[in-house]
Amino acid sequence: MPIQIQKSIFENVSFSIWEIDESEDFFYSNINLTENCKKRLNSMNSSQKRKQFLAVRKLIKLYDIDLNDLEYNPNGAPELKNGKKISISHTNGFSAIAISEKPAGIDIQDYRKKILSVSHKFLNESEKKIINSKSIKELTLIWSIKESIYKTYQKSDLSFKRDIEIKSFEDDFKYSSVILNKSNKKTFFKSKNIIQSDYICSIVTENE
């Protein structure tokens, strides 16, 4: 299935989501892969992982971006040589990217019961007051937003529970305000949240 969602949000931030129900051959016949892409694909044993990887490259091409312009920094985060910012995510059956003029993060998650048993690792006391802490959907939303923040921060010393706080939600969870409090510096973010029956996707950027 082609793009499920493609939108521009905030200022100079666009995102796209691909629902993956095609074969690997579909992507191979529609994408001119770089040698680096081929090497990365050859290292993947899972067909699902390969299709997620290929769907991301298909989305990138839809923005008229040359795959040779995609590279990864020492932290493992994707970058574009043309100066624009890119964030990538995938989950069971879906791939997603965000393209922006300034740093932005995207994360897509399917729903899993396991999140109920690990929520204590990322959910803080303030956030328990604004969501139902027994809801798989609402916990997944919290996790997705914080994963998106992490992708803008790009350092491993970030505590999801201590350093990231979701302050509020608006319009039935479609938007949220977030604070990253790290190294005695507060950075304010805004999030656009796509809530579907089979996944949640969050896109964050600094709230200027």
Q: What is the pLDDT of residue 85?
A: 96
- Separation of alpha carbons 94 and 15, rounded Å: 13
What pLDDT does 5 receive? 76
Is the model's pLDDT at 207 over the cut of 60?
yes
Q: Which of 76, 32, 24, 79 is nearest to 55 (CA)?
A: 24
- Specify the pTM: 0.94
Query: Widest CA span of the chain, in angstroms?
Result: 50
What is the C-alpha separation between 45 and 31, in angstroms, rounded?
Answer: 20
Q: 8-52 pLDDT, tens per residue?
A: 888 889 999 999 999 999 999 999 999 999 999 999 999 999 999
User: Which overall architecture, per CATH, does domain 3-102 show?
Assistant: Alpha-Beta Complex (3.90)
pLDDT at 208: 75
pLDDT tens figures, 81-123: 999 999 999 999 999 999 999 999 999 999 999 999 999 999 9
Tokens found for residue 161: 């529970």
Q: Where are the domains of the chain?
A: 3-102, 108-206
The residues near 30 (Cβ < 8 Å, ≥ 6 apart) are 58
Q: State the average pLDDT over residues 57-80.
A: 93
Instruction: Report CA 185 to chain centroid distance, whole Å.
Output: 24
Distance CA 63, CA 84 (A): 11
Mean pLDDT of all residues in the chain? Answer: 94
Residues 6+ apart with CB under 8 A from 153: 180, 182
